[in-house]
Amino acid sequence: MSLFSVHNATDGAIVLHLEETDANLDLIEDIVDQVPLLHITRIREFCGYQAQASLESARQADKVRQAVPPVIAKIAAMSEDEALTLAEQLIDAVKFSRAIAGKVVKLELVK
């Protein structure tokens, strides 16, 4: 399993997933360390499709999100090899997006 995986979404976005279990747990610990549990609980109450079903629910969700203090979460610490693998995956995803859009595809990573 890689530390990261890179995917192309149907809307053209390039999506980065943190795959490794320990890295995900590190991220959760980092966020829980910075954000009071009350805010996390309130965000959880408003996540999902039903919470966004009405304009009032969306407004309340925005208020909850605005109450959360600024967070800077370290996604992962990686080795040079992991960083190069991620860079290659990102370049491949951008190439794919360009190909779909009919743009020039040439990109490469020089090691």
Mind listing the pLDDT tens digit for each residue in 49-96? 566 677 888 888 888 888 888 888 888 888 889 889 999 999 999 999
The crossing angle, in degrees rounded to 10, of helices 37-46 and 21-34 is 110
Separation of alpha carbons 4 and 78, rounded Å: 10
Q: Which residue has better confidence, 81 or 110?
A: 81
Domains of the chain by residue range: 4-76
Separation of alpha carbons 107 and 95, rounded Å: 7
Q: Is the pTM of this model over 0.75?
A: no
Could you tell me if 78 and 3 are in contact, meaning their C-beta atoms sit under 8 angstroms apart?
yes
Report pLDDT for 48.
65
